[in-house]
Amino acid sequence: MESIWSKIGWSALTLFIVLNYGLLARAFLQKTTARVGKRYGIRIFQFYIDIFKAYSIRTHIYHGVMYYLGPVFRLTGGIGMLMFIPVIYGDPRFANFSDAGDLVLVLYFFFFGTLGMALGAGEGGNPNAAIGVSRGLSQMSVSEIPLIISMLAVSSQFQSLEITKIVAGQQGSFMNWVLFSNPLAFITGFMGLLASFAVNPFSIVIAPQEIPIGPPTEYEGNYTGVLQLNRSIFPIAKLILFTNLFLGGATNWLELFTKIFFFFLAFTIINAVFPRFRTDHSVRWFIRIPFAVGILTLVYTTLRF
């Protein structure tokens, strides 16, 4: 029992560190994008203010039980995913509950939040929310294919679905990282991850610069606060997973945040340079390019490993 409570305590500390890093990283992305457009951008601590402000407001809008469960499911997906990923390799304090789940369970959490949010927003009173849901599910249906293919290739390469064993197989040299030993798997997964982060050219759900049409259209007050927390936790959890699968994991926090930073830097550049796709353009792009690279990934992995 003592070890369980100790693991819960270290997991809570992990969540606290990831949350704060996510808030600062999101601010960095927005501020950098603004500077590219010759604007000043937000303050680096603006998201902290937004969360406290959102939690201080209460809403009296009622659309049904599922409407309220949507943000809860979304946050559950982010936290649940983080809890079953080994954050720091070789340090049992930050292994979380990775010994109780594998890559399949993490993938369930990967999709759980998105589908729960779609159900919640679909029960809202604004028809624009349904438009955002249809856009998001259309893109998700095709963007998850390269993600799954890349993860299947990695698990096949190391003959395991346990994330810890996959990280262990990449130790010894950076040339053992999947990024170098199986670059097609990394490219395939990275293209799918772009859509998961909803940065340009795949920001079709929230659709910045348009009239708000995404699922959070009618969510306000403390529900917005829940969504903002998840938008800081879930992306970092995804990047920790990708660091484990493709970059050999990390043996300390500095190494982890450095590797994650380069992902964020790439997303920031792509978001600032490329315009947004239309939904049909996004779907066709994923069917043509990432799917084709994914097939090559499976062939390459089968022949080499």
Condensed to tens digits (0 to 9), the pLDDT of residues 79-117 reads 989 999 999 998 888 988 888 878 888 888 888 877 777
| Residue 150 banded pLDDT, cuts 50, 70, 90 | very high
% of the chain at pLDDT higher than 90: 25
| Residue 185 banded pLDDT, cuts 50, 70, 90 | very high
Most confident segment among 69-73, 123-127, 212-216: 69-73
Give backbone dihedrals phi and psi of 8, rounded to 5 degrees, phi first.
-65, -40
Degrees, nearest 5: CA angle 192-183-167: 85
Q: Please choose, from the candidates 232, 102, 236, 110, the residue with its C-alpha nearest in 3D space to the C-alpha of residue 160.
A: 102
Q: Can you tell me the mean pLDDT for 143-161?
A: 90
- What's the burial of 270, exposed, middle or buried (CB within 10 Å: 0-12/13-18/19+)? middle
Residue 214 confidence (pLDDT): 53
Q: How many domains does the chain divide into?
A: 1
Residue 281 confidence (pLDDT): 87
- Is the pLDDT score of 283 beyond 80? yes
Q: 163 versus 226: which is more confidently predicted?
A: 163
- Is the pLDDT score of 215 beyond 60? no
Strands (E), the chain: none
Q: Which domain holds residue 266?
A: 2-304
Residue 27 confidence (pLDDT): 86
Q: 99-124 burial string, b = 16+ CB within 10 Å, else e?
A: eebbbebbbebbebbbbbbbebbbbb
- Is the pLDDT score of 174 beyond 80? yes
- Is the pLDDT score of 216 beyond 70? no
Q: Can you tell me the mean pLDDT for 179-191?
A: 92
Specify the DSSP element, H or E, that contains 154: helix 127-158
Amino acid at 37: G
